[in-house]
Chains A and B, each alone.
Chain A
Amino acid sequence: MHHHNFYDSVSSTQANASEIDFRNAMSRIYYYVYHEILSLIEKYTDLKIIYDELKGQYSSHKLLQNVFFTYTTRSKSLQYAHIANSLKTLHNLRCDADYHLDEQIKFADYNSMLFEVRDLQQKLQRIYKDAFNMEIKSPSKTTVFKRGEKVDNSKDEKTEKSTKPNFQFVD
């Protein structure tokens, strides 16, 4: 199976999908990214050497992040740290989707993750032209069309813990 299938299987997720659809989509998209990065590491000797050095010391997810963190210190180039940071963020979002059932996952979480993926894609393509060639599509922002029907997705909700008031000057 090609890892693109992970993304393909959820790429039609729409803004009015159910919570479980969003969770599944976030999880599958993370694994699409995971395998994309893994194949990139296999292709580039500098990264592969570090990968082999670190293998066995970390979980598979942390290993991927640490390949880029380590390459940052070796190359003194911060762009690899930004890639590692994006990978860490995506992994955290995937963990929320898979493990934290007490927190609602809504369209805003899913759509924001898609833009995090797109951001990682841009960072990678600045260095590795052949990386990540899949087009990452975000569902329409305000309305989506499904089966010929116009769907209002403005009722996007989220349940969370601590709040902070508006950062707005009071008149």
Chain B
Amino acid sequence: MAIPQLDLPIQLQQKGKKDLSPTVMAELNRAIEKLQHIKGKDEIYAWHNIAKIYAYQNQFDKAIVYFEKVYQKDNSSLNFDNLILSIHQSGQYAVAIEKLLLYVQEKRDDELLNKLLNLLLLYPRQDDIKQTQKILCLFNDEKYQSYHQRFEDILSRIHLLDQFQLSLEDYCFMNDIYENILDKFYYGYGMVFDCDEAIEHDGLFQKIHIFEAEAEDILELNHLYEQKIERMIEQGQLTIEKYIDIISKYNFSFVIHTETQEEWENSRASS
């Protein structure tokens, strides 16, 4: 699906830090209004772009509604992928995984299986793991060997959580906080979660590699993270003692690259 020439704000065609200044928000809202008047054969394009604008504005629940409408009209795997991404960004990772499991099992879609495995590494709940194991039996071809390896990585991660006495719930909780911050801060970003379990770290240490960004973003990302934790404690969703217990076993840092994820992956492959 090509981006239609509908005077869309330039932000939607770029990657990087979201600009939610009043001027940009007004421009985005004007674009939504224009798109809502489009009918007929361009309707799907209009919904698709409305959804993207809502995602840009961090209104993920509204983005889901429009991606759902697109998918109802055209149930391609690309549209399903967008729907899943918006569900995930809204913080409903369990729902996203459940939908992916059903879809992959039914359609035998290897690209979405790839996405499922990525999510499971961050949210490795037992029932989902069991179901994925069954699904993987449908992908026995040699070209899917890396998928089986990644499934083993997920099992190893669960083992590590046991080793460091970090509950699955706390592990998922922290990953969700970080993903949520990144989704609200960047638009269309590349990301690699790289978890290190060395004994020197005295727990799990997750480095999140971000691409096409600037290192000073770390100051804002850390600030957003701290604000979020403070809010959760104020609202009684977390206690100080519980928070200290989690971060003394599992903490994060950002590594910010100015290059693209593709460039980084190519250089990794060649080294």
A: which residues have CB within 8 A of B?
62, 65, 69, 72-73, 76, 78, 81-82, 84-86, 88-89, 91-93, 95-96, 99-100, 104, 108-109, 111-112, 114-116, 118-119, 122, 138, 141-142, 154-171
Are A92 and B118 neighbours in the complex by a CB distance under 8 Å? no
A–B pairs, 29, beta carbons within 8 Å: A72-B240, A73-B240, A82-B226, A84-B244, A84-B247, A95-B201, A104-B271, A112-B253, A112-B254, A115-B215, A142-B258, A154-B259, A156-B257, A156-B259, A158-B267, A160-B192, A162-B150, A162-B193, A163-B192, A164-B192, A166-B189, A166-B191, A167-B85, A167-B89, A167-B186, A169-B52, A169-B55, A170-B81, A171-B2
Residues of B207-235 contacting chain A, CB below 8 A:
207, 209, 214-216, 218-219, 222, 226, 229-230, 233
Nearest CB to that of B153 among chain A residues? A162
Are B248 and A99 neighbours in the complex by a CB distance under 8 Å? no
Measured in the bound complex, the distance between the Cα atoms of B186 and A108 in whole Å is: 18
**Shortest distance from the beta carbon of B189 to any chain A beta carbon, whole Å:** 5
**Shortest distance from the beta carbon of B55 to any chain A beta carbon, whole Å:** 7
Are A162 and B195 neighbours in the complex by a CB distance under 8 Å? yes
Beyond A92-B205, A167-B190, whether A78 also contacts B229 by CB under 8 A is yes
Measured in the bound complex, the distance between the Cα atoms of B255 and A114 in whole Å is: 11
Are B219 and A92 neighbours in the complex by a CB distance under 8 Å? no
Residues of B104-134 contacting chain A, CB below 8 A:
114-115, 118, 121
**Is B90 positioned at the interface, with any CB of A under 8 Å from its CB?**
no
Nearest CB to that of A82 among chain B residues? B226
Residues of B75-120 contacting chain A, CB below 8 A:
78, 81-82, 85-86, 89, 114-115, 118
Contacts of B202 in A (CB 8 A): 62
Contacts of B200 in A (CB 8 A): 92, 95, 99
Are B82 and A169 neighbours in the complex by a CB distance under 8 Å? yes
**Shortest distance from the beta carbon of B89 to any chain A beta carbon, whole Å:** 8
**Shortest distance from the beta carbon of B175 to any chain A beta carbon, whole Å:** 11
Contacts of B215 in A (CB 8 A): 108, 111-112, 114-115, 138, 141
Contacts of B187 in A (CB 8 A): 168
Are B85 and A158 neighbours in the complex by a CB distance under 8 Å? no
Measured in the bound complex, the distance between the Cα atoms of B196 and A91 in whole Å is: 13
**Is B32 positioned at the interface, with any CB of A under 8 Å from its CB?**
no
**Is B138 positioned at the interface, with any CB of A under 8 Å from its CB?**
no
Measured in the bound complex, the distance between the Cα atoms of B252 and A73 in whole Å is: 21
Interface of chain A, main secondary structure: helix
Measured in the bound complex, the distance between the Cα atoms of B195 and A163 in whole Å is: 11
Are B222 and A119 neighbours in the complex by a CB distance under 8 Å? yes
**Is B162 positioned at the interface, with any CB of A under 8 Å from its CB?**
no
Nearest CB to that of B217 among chain A residues? A115
**Shortest distance from the beta carbon of B94 to any chain A beta carbon, whole Å:** 18
Nearest CB to that of A153 among chain B residues? B258
Nearest CB to that of B205 among chain A residues? A92
Measured in the bound complex, the distance between the Cα atoms of B188 and A84 in whole Å is: 32
Contacts of A95 in B (CB 8 A): 198, 200-201
Contacts of B189 in A (CB 8 A): 166-168
Nearest CB to that of B229 among chain A residues? A78
Measured in the bound complex, the distance between the Cα atoms of B200 and A154 in whole Å is: 32
Starting from the known contacts A73-B244, A92-B253, A159-B267, 8 additional A-B residue pairs (CB-CB under 8 Å) come to: A108-B255, A114-B215, A115-B218, A115-B256, A141-B258, A161-B194, A162-B192, A167-B186
Are A158 and B190 neighbours in the complex by a CB distance under 8 Å? no
Nearest CB to that of B119 among chain A residues? A164
Are A92 and B257 neighbours in the complex by a CB distance under 8 Å? no
Nearest CB to that of B261 among chain A residues? A166
**Is B164 positioned at the interface, with any CB of A under 8 Å from its CB?**
no
**Shortest distance from the beta carbon of B176 to any chain A beta carbon, whole Å:** 14
Contacts of B1 in A (CB 8 A): 170-171
Contacts of A119 in B (CB 8 A): 218-219, 222
Contacts of A142 in B (CB 8 A): 258
Are A96 and B256 neighbours in the complex by a CB distance under 8 Å? no
**Is B160 positioned at the interface, with any CB of A under 8 Å from its CB?**
no
**Is B3 positioned at the interface, with any CB of A under 8 Å from its CB?**
yes
Are B188 and A167 neighbours in the complex by a CB distance under 8 Å? yes
